[in-house]
Amino acid sequence: MSTIVPKLEANLVSLEEGLPAKIEAARLSRGFSVSSLSAAIRQEGHRMLSRHRLAGLIHGKSSFSLADAIGLGRVLFDDELALFQASK
């Protein structure tokens, strides 16, 4: 049985428009600097490329990968699926 590995582009996640602001607000309310948030995500076992990439994600200047969204959801919202759920 062979495993199909998706291309990197297929692993990017489409998220709602206001999400970077929601992530930034959660980061600030939890007292994380960008560096400490990146470290916390790594401690949870999720890969984060760098604090520079994380800053780009938070400010809406980069695309989220599935791993990025899950790691941010787990650390900032205590829910791996938080960034996939519609805002109310």
Q: What is the CATH number of the domain that holds 37?
A: 1.10.260
| DSSP conformational letter for 44 | T
| Locus of tokens 């890969």 | 47
Residue 57 lies in a domain: yes
Q: What is the pLDDT of residues 39-76, one digit of tens each?
A: 898 888 877 667 888 888 877 787 778 888 888 899 99
Cβ neighbour number for residue 33 with a 10 Å cutoff: 11
What is the residue range of 21's domain? Answer: 17-82
Q: What is the pLDDT of residues 4-20, one digit of tens each?
A: 444 444 445 555 677 88
Is-above-0.85 flag for pTM? no
Amino acid present at 70: I
Q: From the CA atom positions of the chain, what is the Rg in Å?
A: 13
